[in-house]
Structure 1
Amino acid sequence: MSSNIVAILGTGVWGSALGAIAKSNSHDVHFWSHRGDVTLESVVKDADIIVSAVSMKGVIPTIGKLRSLNLPTDKIIVTATKGLDPETTRTPSQIWQTAFPDHSVVVLSGPNLSKEIAKGLPAATVVASNDLAAAERVQEIYSSDTFRVYVNEDPIGTELGGTLKNVIAIASGVCDGMELGTNAKAALLTRALPEMIRIGIHLGASAETFFGLSGLGDLMATCDSSLSRNYQVGYGLSHGKPLEEILADLEGTAEGVNTANVLVKIADLEAIAVPIARQVHRLLRAKITPEEAIQALMERDLKPEFCDLDF
């Protein structure tokens, strides 16, 4: 494959790892950070692919800067951000596509713990877009002997899988921190999946996407690793640490905190059952203790296992 110019927006661990993969595949990689001295215009000017790895709160400001540059429509925009906008409740790809309606927008998401990727450990991910050709081009750019890339045509489902599991990862950290055992952890993750699917279907995603790498795969990786920042939040809360203290000690952003707030907002407006996310939300706001959150989930009404799925 011919060499491409790849612009990486965001120089955190994730952005740096994505840049390293592209560079190892002999592509020309340029980095931009809002804290750096290099201008955004100079980084994206000749880029074939623009990869956004900024945090959720940085998405809209970054888009604002890019819109003033009149980007040619042949540049592919890849979003690797997991989160929901607190004002509009939209996903990053929806925000990017609205801002750049004539560009191909590709979602990159999967069970990709940044620090493991940075070490060159084997992993797989998904690139998804309504423009399959654009997704396949990104697939070719990023596929390597340690990074296997799959494609699909469900960007919203791929994106929501990686976003919603962050909330569950907080619950998982609580579960492990309280030493509730393997049975409890298995029950939590198994019941989390239909909760994610309910939300996804309501927001226009395909149910089957959540059984793939960006759904179940990312759920398993993030909820069972101390490398996950969201898991660390839950683990800290289980030991009585204040949320502010936990967040101050993290390397990077725990997107699940904001996502829990936005998710409950969506659930309230659309009458979607999100029992796990709701307890996480209450815990994050210090409305309940970890013990009370567990008790609330255990005391829910009895029901058949598959009564609330319509796929």
Structure 2
Amino acid sequence: MSAITVTILGAGAWGLALAELARRAGHSVRLWSRRLEEPLATAIAGTEIIVSAVSMAGVTPMADRLQALSLPSNLILVSATKGLDPVTTRTPSQVWQAALPHQAIAVLSGPNLSQEIQQGLPAATVVASRDLATATQVQQVFASPRFRVYTNTDILGTELGGTLKNVMAIAAGVCDGLCLGTNAKSALLTRALPEMIRIGTRLGAKADTFFGLSGLGDLLATCNSPLSRNYQVGYGLAQGRRLNDVLASLKGTAEGINTARVLVAIADREQIPIPVAREVYRLLQGEITPQAALAALMERDLKPEDPRF
């Protein structure tokens, strides 16, 4: 496709990685953050695609700011945030759609560790939108020989896969931090996936989406890499460190902490069983030790295996 102008909102590691991908594809890229002096209106003037790579805490304030501006009807908003709003329990795309009902909204999510992408290592991702033409347009913007981009129309499933796996990554970090071995780690991830599917399908997502890059793919990447901030949180807690001390050493936000809290509220409201996520939440709240969380999962009632849900 011909070169276009892309504005990235958020200059953290993920925003910088996305900016680099768009530049490699030959597009003009503007990078905006609250720390820069450039007005938001100036940064988005004449742009065709806005990519939001802000943290979950920044999504609603940013949506409010863009809502106050006059956006062209053909401008596409791409959400690259993985989290849940603590007040409304909405996903980022739902927050964006509520604030900007007339804009085309897409979600970009997958096994995309920002440090590896910045190093030029190969990766793949998914762009989802209810309008396939919108997803295809964004696909063409970011696709390159080193970054393969797929599309689908399940925007909620794509988004929830990337969001829920952050909670599971904390559990995976605990597993490795306690040196529980490969058997335990495999069992954990195998049971984490149907838990994610159970939540997602109850909220309206398609089960098949969770077997793709934005679900299983992202789960495997985040739960097996020390580059993952959520994994680092679990690993640090398993080493006996306090949560505040672990967070102080992180470069960026571990979204799984807030997601665990919101997820428990959703599960209680919808009566969804979430054994892994609930123990992660209890651990983050300081209610139990990593060892007690493990015991709670291992001592659950015996039952037949259902690998789907």
Is residue 2:256 matched to residue 1:263?
no
Q: Is the 8 A contact 2:78 2:108 kept in 1?
A: yes
CA deviation map 1:218-237 (0-9, x unaligned): 00000000000000000000
CA RMSD of aligned residues (A): 0.8
Matched residue SS, 1:101: coil
**1:108-257 paired onto structure 2 within 5 Å:** 108-257=108-257
Provide the residue aligned with 1:291 in structure 2: 291
Matched residue SS, 1:107: strand
In 1, the alpha carbon distance for the partners of 2:42 and 2:31 equals: 10
Matched residue SS, 1:78: strand
In 2, the alpha carbon distance for the partners of 1:265 and 1:163 equals: 15
Shift, 1:267, TM fit: 0.4
In 1, the alpha carbon distance for the partners of 2:307 and 2:174 equals: 27
Q: Is the 8 A contact 2:194 2:307 kept in 1?
A: no
Give the letter for the 2:82 counterpart. Answer: K
Give the letter for the 2:13 counterpart. Answer: V
Give the letter for the 2:297 counterpart. Answer: L
Q: Is the 8 A contact 2:197 2:308 kept in 1?
A: no
**1:265-284 paired onto structure 2 within 5 Å:** 265-284=265-284
In 2, the alpha carbon distance for the partners of 1:307 and 1:56 equals: 31
TM-score for both structures, normalised by structure 1: 0.98
Provide the residue aligned with 1:67 in structure 2: 67
TM-score for both structures, normalised by structure 2: 0.99
State how many pairs are aligned. Answer: 309
Q: Which runs of 4+ in 1 moved over 4 A?
A: none
- Report % sequence identity: 64
Provide the residue aligned with 1:85 in structure 2: 85
Structure 1 alignment gaps of length 5 or more: none
Is residue 2:49 matched to residue 1:44?
no
Structure 1 residues 52 and 287 mapped into 2: Cα distance closer, same or farther (>3 Å)? same
Shift, 1:308, TM fit: 7.5
Give the letter for the 2:224 counterpart. Answer: D
Shift, 1:181, TM fit: 0.2
Give the letter for the 1:76 counterpart. Answer: I
Shift, 1:12, TM fit: 0.5
Shift, 1:35, TM fit: 1.3
Provide the residue aligned with 1:95 in structure 2: 95
Shift, 1:24, TM fit: 1.0
Give the letter for the 1:144 counterpart. Answer: S
Structure 1 residues 14 and 308 mapped into 2: Cα distance closer, same or farther (>3 Å)? closer
In 2, the alpha carbon distance for the partners of 1:205 and 1:307 equals: 17
In 2, the alpha carbon distance for the partners of 1:149 and 1:57 equals: 27
In 2, the alpha carbon distance for the partners of 1:307 and 1:163 equals: 20
Give the letter for the 2:223 counterpart. Answer: C
Structure 2 alignment gaps of length 5 or more: none
In 2, the alpha carbon distance for the partners of 1:214 and 1:307 equals: 18
In 2, the alpha carbon distance for the partners of 1:78 and 1:275 equals: 32
Shift, 1:307, TM fit: 8.1
Is residue 2:3 matched to residue 1:3?
yes
Give the letter for the 1:29 counterpart. Answer: V
Give the letter for the 2:235 counterpart. Answer: Y
In 2, the alpha carbon distance for the partners of 1:243 and 1:54 equals: 23
